[in-house]
Structure 1
Amino acid sequence: MLYQNVFIEFYEQVISSINDGTFAKLTLAKTIGDTELKNIYVRLHILENGGYNFALTSRYKTEEVENFYSSDELFNVLSSYIKNPFLTFLLFTTERDLTFKVNKKNAGSIIQQEPTFKNASPVMLEMIQKGIIKL
């Protein structure tokens, strides 16, 4: 698949934004056709043992479902949604916004834009404050 290496690069940027304390939000959008699944939102979740994982909220036409994944699991879960049904993944950080897109020819690309958010997510800030992420 032509987009796989580009997606790996994009996912490395997701993890890097967490390690740098700049992560604000990750969203999957722009589906292929009219699907039951409309959006997926990924946010950080602090564990009781002092670590973190990811809360993945899947928004369907009639309900929301939340699941939790480690960073290793999240890569495989997100990969499974590429072109099934999502074409666009948006990473929002305090430094820049990154958009991973797949076109009709299965080519992936990453577009960088000015940041939408001035502050990291509240959970990201709490992780820094608690020393879960050391800057």
Structure 2
Amino acid sequence: MSFQPVFAQFWKKVKESIENKTYAKLTLAKTIGDTELKNIYVRPVLLENDVLSFSIIARYKTEEIESFHSLEEAFFVLAPYMNNPFLTALLFTTENDIIFKLNKKRVGTIIEQAPTFKNASDVILEMKEKGI
């Protein structure tokens, strides 16, 4: 059984959190073994003309590489990293923490927990103020 449909459901929750202005942070973590790539962080940024983009920071053992993408592009950038090397994607929102996990058989599940963050990301709050 493929985990991609469950990851697509998880991504739908990412989109909803942005639309609802509750998005705080997204992190890919828990690698398989000792890998060069340690984490990937996804944070919203406002570009010129108030265009929403996403900063994707790939943290390696010796460096960090940042790239900027639309929300749709971000899905295609991040999806290949699930199962190789990451087993977990954590979406932090002001309503709850949503965790996408792959088990040993690579079956995906989504778990919701109490929120870690009380406030949405600064960029999301700025968008709310500007009515974007």
Normalised by the length of structure 1, the TM-score is 0.94
Q: Which residue of 2 aligns with 1:131?
A: 131
| Distance in 2, Cα, partners of 1:49 & 1:84 | 36
Q: What do residues 79-114 of structure 1 show as CA deviations (whole Å, max 9, x unaligned)?
A: 110111000000000000000011121210001000
Unaligned runs of 5+ in 2: none
1:7 is matched by which residue type in structure 2?
A: F
- Structure 1 unaligned blocks of 5 or more: none
- Report the counterpart of residue 101 of structure 1 in structure 2: 101
Secondary structure, counterpart of 2:14 in structure 1: helix
1:44 aligns with 2:27: no
SS of 2:67 mapped into structure 1? strand
Aligned to 1:112: 112
How far apart in 2 are the matches of 1:41 and 1:25? 8
Equivalent positions of 1:14-53 (< 5 A) are 14-53=14-53
Specify the SS of the correspondent of 1:49: helix
RMSD between aligned residues: 0.9
1:64: which partner in 2?
A: 64
Give the match for residue 77 of structure 1: 77
Identity across the alignment (%) = 62
More helix by proportion, 1 or 2?
A: 2
**Structure 2: which amino acid aligns with 1:91?**
L
**Whole-Å Cα distance in 1 between the matches of residues 23 and 118 of structure 2?**
11
Letter in 2 for 1:108: G
Q: Which amino acid aligns with 1:62?
A: T
State the 1:131 CA deviation: 1.8
Structure 2: distance between partners of 1:130 and 1:47 = 14
Deviation at 1:49, TM superposition (A): 2.1
C-alpha deviation, 1:44, in angstroms = 0.1
For 1:75 and 1:127, locate their aligned partners in 2 and report how far apart those are by CA, in whole Å.
Answer: 21
Secondary structure of 1:111's aligned partner: strand
Residue identity matched to 1:57: I
Match of 1:7 in 2: 7
